[in-house]
């Protein structure tokens, strides 16, 4: 099952979901504000992507953190900060088979869902 994590009013998430619908790809959407992310999710994503890719340092949430919490959020033991502030996660975050990726663009999704079309 393809899973999309994000915030329903985020423009990038809307574009990703629209792309999936347009390509008849079944998916499940999880709003990170309400779905109850787990530390296990965050650990898996951090391991696959790295903290610099997973954490959105341009977000309003990031800017509201203290410099100390910003520094901690990028460390392995700092995942509790992201757990408490799920909007720190770049979005949309897509899980499809063995692929975990953040952000959206047509070419990226095309490569994930139609790898032989390249």
Centre a 10 Å sphere on the Cβ of residue 111 and count the other Cβ atoms it contains. Answer: 14
Classify residue 94 as left (phi > 0), alpha (psi -120 to 50) or beta: beta
Give the helix ranges, DSSP H, for 2-105: 11-22, 39-49, 51-54, 60-64, 67-73, 79-84
Instruction: For residue 3, indicate whether it is catalytic.
Output: no
What is the rounded distance in angstroms from the CA atom of residue 52 to the CA atom of residue 69?
Answer: 14
Taking the C-alpha atoms of residue 84 and residue 36, their distance in angstroms, rounded to an integer, is 10
Q: Which of 3, 10, 48, 111 is catalytic?
A: 10
Q: Kindly state the DSSP code that residue 104 receives in the 8-state scheme.
A: -
**Which residues are the active-site residues?**
10
């Amino acid at each position: 099952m393809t899973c999309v994590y994000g915030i329903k009013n985020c423009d990038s998430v809307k574009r990703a979901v629209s792309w999936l619908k347009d390509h008849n790809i079944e998916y499940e959407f999880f709003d990170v504000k309400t779905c109850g992310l787990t530390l296990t999710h965050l650990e898996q994503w951090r391991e696959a992507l790295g903290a610099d890719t997973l954490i959105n340092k341009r977000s309003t949430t990031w800017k509201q953190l203290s410099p100390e919490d910003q520094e901690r959020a990028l460390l392995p033991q700092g995942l509790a900060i992201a757990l408490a502030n799920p909007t720190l996660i770049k979005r949309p975050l897509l899980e499809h088979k063995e692929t975990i990726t953040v952000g959206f663009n047509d070419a990226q999704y095309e490569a994930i869902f139609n790898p032989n079309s390249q």
